[in-house]
Amino acid sequence: MARDAGRAEDLSTAQPEREDRWVERREDYALRFVPLGYRRWSWISLLGVMLGISTAMFFLAFGGQLAQSYGTRNLLIGMIFGTLFIGAVGYFFTSVSSMTGLDSDLITRGAGFGFMGSAFTSLIYSFNFLMFSAFEGSIVANAIHAYYEAIPLTLLYAIIGLVFIPLTWYGLTAMNWIMWATIPLFAGFLVWTIVLVASNGGGTNFWSFEPTNPVSPEAGPPLLQLGAALLGLITNATICADIGRFIPPSQRRVGALALGFGFEAATFLGVTMLGAWLTLRLGGETDPGTYLAALLGFWGVLFVVVTQLRINVMNTYSGSLAYANFFARVFHFAPGRHWWVVLTAVLSTGLMFGGIYENLTQVLTFEAVFVMAWIMAVVSDVLINKRLLGLSPRDYPYKRSQTYKYNPVGIGALIFALLIALPMAFGLFGPLGKTLAPYVSGALAFAAVPVIAYATKGRYYTAPTVAENVDPNLPKFGAGAETEVLTASTEAPTQPCVKCAKRFELAEFVRCPFLEGPICSVCCAAEPNCGELCKKQAEGPTPVAVENRGR
């Protein structure tokens, strides 16, 4: 079964052909680590992509709703908490992703969940982007409908949802261009809006505003309730990993600060607080799609369209990454990231039709239960198991051939947290239980991870295998130590895969006993016929657990 096209000796440092470069741009290494040669964006450029999220109209609406429910002072305290807590988690994820070239899903595989276990967190992650894409699309539809009432909302939902397919088809290359090209328009419209609202006067005193109909005290103190909704946005931190993996390792620390704390400060202390101010100055209207169209007319509609164009390319792109990972593992189906753009756009359009925007804070609080359990489990595994106690290998194994399908450490912690927190979220413990559910979910998952790792002796991180790494810079098994870059050179040798015949860096390959040649990680993940022969042939202890633990 050997194939000459995939021989390990067929090495080259030549750059990919033009067609391969377009494929590379379209795929953006959706299922692979990002090699150094593709990390050509500076942290400043990538921060511009992230600021497309900060400028989303969702945060204007979110700030307005929170101010009317909890008051301005509580809102400011909550935004400081969000900047510090979610910013710290974002710094953590960006640092790891820049160091390894892995996105949040691939990090999850090697941080306690296993190859198939992380597929289920991909579904949790994918709903996050569907949800936000629907929120943002609804705002655009409301803005256009407010100015052109003859156009039905249903038609607007369909058009707005599907227009992002071509805009996201070519991945980060197109996204980077869109984000930077629209900054002047966005900045101009934003300044115009602020000046116009400030000069008109009226509204209530911003800093002393207290809601006339405050939230129920039965659900806990207002700050506690506000924080519960805010925790639904902790996926901002994992987006930092998806974008931060393109940061060159030499810029890792400053990039992690910018994408972590800088991005969250712009989001919470900047745009969200601005949304609260606009709402209170404009008489309590929280939907920016409505009040901008009324305030600026056609130009207000254009402002909304430009802003939502910036954010929804990110939502659609990130959703496509999550689906690409899920279907490659569960169904061994990997047609390419760009095809999952279509699924993401269609499903988010369906949520718009379902009226998700009208239940914004409730949806966020419920979503927080799931994402807090997943993200806190990953953070605990890296900080406690890998770095503090040495209960797991210091690297992040992500290849199917070298990982167990399921790791009870992360999966067990996730299930344990959800078993306790989900009944709380459904109201079985009263209104206070609903508020506490996201906090409990994250805390239980964080605490359970080291306990389960200690009980299982960390044996489920890397599977016994005969599939050795092809790259001589890596150990025979595993992804290498945490502090090592997967490929040491920006012009590292490449070779073709024994199955797809496409050329990738050596770190992408293991020696496959089934196909008798070097196979790339994506083809390995999607191979339906091998029966994981590489693991069945292995005997003895797991080599990588012995090599890497305690580094």
Q: How far is CA 138 from CA 57, 58, 145, 363, in A?
A: 10, 10, 10, 15
Q: Which residues contact 150 (CB under 8 A, 6 or more apart)?
A: none
Element (H, E) at 200: helix 183-200
Q: Is the pLDDT of residue 13 over 80?
A: no
Q: Do 157 and 353 form a contact (C-beta atoms < 8 A)?
A: yes
Distance CA 347, CA 456 (A): 39
- Of the pLDDT bands very low, low, confident and very high (cuts 50, 70, 90), residue 174 is low
Residue pLDDT, tens place only, 83-122: 999 999 999 999 998 888 888 888 999 899 998 898 888 8
Q: Is 518 left (phi over 0), alpha (psi -120 to 50) or beta?
A: beta
Distance CA 120, CA 545 (A): 24
Give me the residue spans of the domains in the chain: 18-456
Q: Is 465 left (phi over 0), alpha (psi -120 to 50) or beta?
A: beta
Residue pLDDT, tens place only, 379-391: 999 999 999 998 9
Q: What are phi and psi of 287, to 5 degrees?
A: -85, 110
Q: Which residues pair with 12 in a beta bridge?
A: 494
Output DSSP code: residue 214: P
- Report which residue type is found at 326: F
Angle at CA of residue 225, ends 222 and 230, nearest 5°: 120
Q: Do 316 and 323 form a contact (C-beta atoms < 8 A)?
A: no
Question: To the nearest whole percent, how much of the chain has pLDDT over 90?
Answer: 29
Which tokens hold the place of 146?
């407010």
Angle between helices 298-330 and 117-147 (to 10 degrees): 160
Residue pLDDT, tens place only, 305-359: 888 877 787 788 778 777 877 887 777 776 766 778 888 888 888 888 877 777 7
Report the half-sphere exposure of 542 (CA within 13 A, side-chain side): 21
**Can you give the pLDDT at residue 19?**
41
Distance CA 71, CA 68 (A): 6
Element (H, E) at 494: strand 494-496
Mean pLDDT across the chain: 82
Q: How far is CA 390 from CA 44, 99, 395, 459, 471, in A?
A: 35, 19, 11, 12, 26
**Can you give the pLDDT at residue 11?**
53
Burial class (CB in 10 A: 0-12, 13-18, 19+), 342: middle
Residue pLDDT, tens place only, 487-530: 445 566 888 899 888 888 888 899 999 988 999 988 888 888 88
- Of the pLDDT bands very low, low, confident and very high (cuts 50, 70, 90), residue 125 is confident
Q: What are phi and psi of 431, to 5 degrees?
A: -60, -40
Distance CA 243, CA 103 (A): 8
3-state DSSP of 471-490: CCCCCCCCCCCCCCCCCCCC
Residue pLDDT, tens place only, 395-438: 888 888 888 999 999 999 999 999 999 999 988 999 999 999 99
Q: Which residues pair with 503 in a beta bridge?
A: 496
- Of the pLDDT bands very low, low, confident and very high (cuts 50, 70, 90), residue 208 is confident
**Can you give the pLDDT at residue 3?**
44
Give the number of other Cβ atoms within 10 Å of residue 40's Cβ.
10
Task: Give domain 18-456's CATH superfamily.
Answer: Hydantoin permease (1.10.4160.10)
Question: What Rg value do the Cα atoms of the chain yield, rounded?
Answer: 24
Q: What are phi and psi of 496, to 5 degrees?
A: -80, 150
Distance CA 293, CA 148 (A): 10
Which tokens hold the place of 256?
């992690």
Q: Do 53 and 267 form a contact (C-beta atoms < 8 A)?
A: yes
More confident residue, 321 or 467: 467
**Can you give the pLDDT at residue 221?**
92
Q: Is the pLDDT of residue 237 over 70?
A: yes
Element (H, E) at 101: none
Distance CA 409, CA 392 (A): 10
Q: Which residues pair with 510 in a beta bridge?
A: 469, 519
Q: Is the pLDDT of residue 227 over 50?
A: yes
Mean pLDDT of 27-37: 71
Q: How far is CA 384 from CA 87, 90, 394, 446, in A?
A: 19, 17, 11, 9
Give the number of other Cβ atoms within 10 Å of residue 26's Cβ.
19
